[in-house]
Amino acid sequence: MRKLYNYQVVRYFPNINSDEFFNVGIHLANDTRNELHFIKDEHLTKLITFPSIEKGNIYTFIQMLNKEINLSGWYGNNLRFSDTKAFRSSQNFEEVLEILYEDYIGYKFHFKEKKDSLEIIKQSTRDIVFREFVNYVEVNENTIFDFDIIDKKHNFHHYSNLGSISNKDNVKDMIWDVESFLLSNVNLSNSKFELLNIKHPHDDVQVANNILHKSQIHPVPYYDDDTRYEYIRQVARIG
């Protein structure tokens, strides 16, 4: 049974005159629990190496909030809570917390693991094509995009990136890549732009979907072997 969770992201602004911020915590609540969890020690150790970060400030804020019961208090301009968002899931509290932590904080601190996982998905895509669709589909890497997947019969190109529509950076990077590509390509009548979503989307991704569609980018489920197979089958126009 899917349960309703509400969450906020704790943001640290090193410079109160700038819009730059670092996510440093997750406040998660449901009908039985209400907890505040901060950035893990191994990630905090890496975060405070940034020149703009005041190490003492972050530790002070964490100590203040750990003692605070009412989270509606004022903590100065450097520390702010995001708007409350909804998350529906059949997973338990700890699992939801880990998902949100990874999407908002953790992903920035393990680039090697992220790169390795993307390479695994890329290889999985090639394997699916080689096993069943080699006569219909060709997979290439593009200088801008992760993939240029071609419907051979119609010479139709699917330019795509791997990412998460729940991740603002992935959405923004996809839009920038499309804009860069459009500057050097005039004839796009036989092409399509797609963000291959490698994670189950949250309930609050409608805004991201709208932004992508305005840029003529189509989000596509791509988070397991079944969704990848179905996508390649549709590219091949079989069935």
90, 4 in Cβ contact below 8 A?
no
Q: Which of 102-106, 108-112, 115-119 has the lowest mean pLDDT?
A: 108-112
H or E segment and range at residue 122: helix 111-128
Look up residue 166 and give its amino acid.
Answer: S
d(CA 94, CA 56): 29
Structure tokens at 27: 């406040």
d(CA 190, CA 147): 15
Each residue's pLDDT tens digit, 160-177: 999 988 888 888 889 989
Give the per-residue pLDDT at 203.
56
| Cα four-point dihedral sign 50, 54, 59, 64 | negative
CA neighbor of 65 nearest in space, from 35, 100, 92: 35
List helix spans (H) across 138-199: 168-184
DSSP 3-state assignment of 105?
Answer: coil
Identify the structural domains of the chain with CATH numbers, from first to last: 3-109 (no CATH), 112-236 (3.40.1350)
**pLDDT top residue among 202 and 93:** 93
Q: Which residue is it, tokens 């998460």?
A: 164
d(CA 163, CA 160): 10
Give the per-residue pLDDT at 6.
93
pLDDT over 70 (residue 98): yes
d(CA 11, CA 5): 19
